[in-house]
């Protein structure tokens, strides 16, 4: 306290230390296997690492790179969007490189929102969304994805989404493939969302960092739907696709007007993002299809290993269609259904760390019995985790 006031401003007062810090510290203290935080335990492709080394040695990007990102990376991003999704973007005016997807979300919220605006986000939501909406002084309006035990998946209720739009709604903040539920929005759902955005004249910010980690169905960028290109900011990142979460290279693609707006905020957050890594990510985006196919096949096998093991251990499993997270219901194992208490005791009980999904909810009671495990770990680590969990 100073001057009788808390140090942290009231916009951020509700956001304490993230659960990931608490659970990762617990993993270190107890020596447990950390399936809490979503980072791979092996690095991405050797040739991409070498590209970063080459860039550093050649003095590419060691001084402030251009504000929008180095031209090589901006061009590679537009080539990727064209090759994968037949979306055409101008590398000079329709791309902005950011310090990871995290900064892209923050800059988008700070640029596009006024205090009092409402932002609709799918709940459970990635934890930085709530904080970024709050920093912009806007109000979040969660629309809850519902677990469907019969299909082992989560479902978006489009009527609930429609009903959540008010005259104050400025923006939809989407995430597909969705962390933590593993939901991949379908063509029909995306078409309905696009129609709603056009009808109510809403902006859409769509976080597609798991675009390459889809095991069931296909990833469809919302920007490819009619009327959406002009009103959509699409976010992605090298962290998940290339297993370099520490590099923090992300980007947005959007119309020139939206890119200009988001850049206005971004330039005063970080100004620019890590130079040499941008050159390396440009090379990564040009890897052949076989790289992306192998990544997906590897993670699909890991999904099956962990999902199967969790089911055998007694959890009710929501098998993800995408991402590298699997959500489980603990109630068959723990009638209290208290995911927080469960995760706090799990390292002592069986040497595994997970995170309680309740932290991703405003309606905490809806998320209470659910717990998330990450499977972006080596097969032997997952196998050991499964064998420990079966001892529960
Ligand atoms: C949905 C989602 N968006 C964004 C991020 C952060 O991405 P980056 O590391 O590129 O900032 C994550 C990381 O877990 C995520 O799950």
Q: CATH 3.40.640.10 in the chain: give the residue spans.
A: 46-285
Specify the ligand 1 atom closest to the Cα of 249: 10
> Which uninterrupted H or E stretch holds 56?
helix 46-58
Residue with the smallest CA separation from ligand 1 atom 13 is 38
Probe target for ligand 1 pocket from 184, 209, 278, with the most ligand atoms within 8 Å of CB: 209
Listing DSSP states for 213-251 in one string gives -BSSS----GGGSTTTGGGEEEEEEHHHHHT-TTT--EE
Q: What is the tens place of the pLDDT at every residue in 292-322?
A: 999 999 999 999 999 999 999 999 999 999 9
Please give the biggest Cα pair distance in the chain: 60
The tokens of 44 are what?
């991405």
Strand intervals (E) in the chain: 33-34, 95-98, 118-123, 139-144, 146-148, 153-155, 169-175, 203-207, 232-237, 250-253, 316-318, 325-329, 352-353, 355-356, 370-374
Closest C-alpha among 291, 279, 258, 287 to residue 74: 279
Q: Which CATH architecture has domain 19-44+290-389?
A: Alpha-Beta Complex (3.90)
148: left (phi > 0), else alpha (psi -120 to 50), else beta? Answer: beta
Distance 18 CA to ligand 1 centre (A): 14
Q: How many CB atoms lie within 10 A of CB 133?
A: 26
Task: Assess whether the C-beta atom of 173 lies below 6 angstroms from ligand 1.
Answer: no
Mean pLDDT calculated for residue range 150-170: 97
SS3 21: helix
Task: Assess whether the C-beta atom of 207 lies below 6 angstroms from ligand 1.
Answer: yes
Q: What is the tens place of the pLDDT at every residue in 255-276?
A: 999 999 999 999 999 999 999 9
Task: Assess whether the C-beta atom of 253 lies below 6 angstroms from ligand 1.
Answer: no
> Rg of the chain's alpha carbons, rounded to an integer?
21
> What CA–CA distance (Å, rounded) separates 242 from 12?
32
With 0-12 CB in 10 A as exposed, 13-18 as middle and 19+ as buried, what is 382?
A: buried
pTM of the predicted model, to two decimals?
0.97
Whole-number pLDDT of residue 263 = 98
> What CA–CA distance (Å, rounded) separates 84 from 223?
13
Q: CATH number of the domain at 46-285, please? A: 3.40.640.10
Task: Assess whether the C-beta atom of 209 lies below 6 angstroms from ligand 1.
Answer: yes
Task: Assess whether the C-beta atom of 132 lies below 6 angstroms from ligand 1.
Answer: no
Task: Assess whether the C-beta atom of 239 lies below 6 angstroms from ligand 1.
Answer: yes
Distance 240 CA to ligand 1 centre (A): 8
pLDDT band at 60 (very low <50, low <70, confident <90, very high): very high
Distance 322 CA to ligand 1 centre (A): 14
Whole-number pLDDT of residue 44 = 96
Specify the ligand 1 atom closest to the Cα of 245: 9
pLDDT band at 345 (very low <50, low <70, confident <90, very high): very high
Q: CATH 3.90.1150.10 in the chain: give the residue spans.
A: 19-44+290-389
Task: Assess whether the C-beta atom of 211 lies below 6 angstroms from ligand 1.
Answer: no
Beta-strand relationship, 325-329 and 316-318: antiparallel
Residue 349 has pLDDT above 90, yes or no: yes
């Amino acid at each position: 306290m100073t001057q009788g006031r808390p140090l942290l401003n009231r916009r951020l007062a509700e956001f304490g230390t993230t659960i990931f810090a608490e659970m990762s510290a617990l993993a270190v203290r107890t020596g447990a296997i950390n399936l809490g935080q979503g980072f791979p335990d092996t690095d991405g492709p050797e040739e991409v690492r070498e590209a970063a080394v080459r860039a550093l040695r050649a003095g590419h990007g060691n001084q402030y790179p251009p504000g929008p990102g180095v031209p090589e990376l901006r061009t590679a991003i537009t080539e990727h969007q064209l090759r994968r999704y037949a979306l055409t973007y101008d590398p000079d005016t329709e791309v902005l490189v950011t310090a990871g997807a995290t900064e892209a979300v923050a800059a988008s919220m700070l640029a596009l929102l006024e205090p009092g605006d409402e932002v609709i986000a799918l709940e459970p939501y990635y934890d930085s969304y709530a904080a970024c909406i709050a920093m912009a002084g806007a109000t979040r309006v969660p629309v809850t994805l519902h677990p469907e035990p019969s299909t082992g998946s989560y479902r978006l209720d489009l009527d609930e989404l429609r009903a959540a739009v008010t005259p104050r709604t400025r923006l939809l903040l989407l995430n597909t493939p969705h962390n933590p539920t593993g939901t991949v929005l379908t063509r029909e759902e995306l078409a309905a969302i696009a129609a709603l955005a056009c009808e109510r004249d809403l902006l859409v910010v769509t976080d597609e960092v798991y675009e390459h980690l889809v095991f069931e169905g296909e990833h469809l960028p919302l920007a490819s739907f009619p009327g959406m290109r002009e009103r959509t900011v699409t976010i992605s990142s090298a962290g998940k696709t290339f297993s370099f979460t520490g590099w923090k290279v992300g980007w947005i693609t959007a119309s020139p007007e939206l890119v200009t707006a988001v850049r206005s905020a971004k330039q005063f957050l970080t100004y620019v993002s890590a130079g040499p890594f941008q050159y390396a990510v440009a090379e990564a985006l040009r890897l052949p299809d076989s790289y992306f196919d192998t990544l997906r096949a590897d993670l699909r096998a890991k999904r099956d290993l962990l999902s199967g093991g969790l089911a055998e251990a007694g959890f009710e499993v929501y098998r993800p269609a995408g991402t590298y997270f699997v959500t489980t219901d603990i109630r068959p194992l723990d009638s209290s259904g208290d995911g927080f208490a469960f995760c706090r005791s799990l390292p002592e009980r069986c040497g595994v760390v997970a995170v309680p999904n309740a932290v991703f909810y405003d309606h905490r009671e809806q998320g209470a019995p659910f717990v998330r495990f990450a499977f972006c770990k080596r097969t032997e680590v997952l196998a050991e985790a499964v064998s420990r969990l079966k001892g529960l």
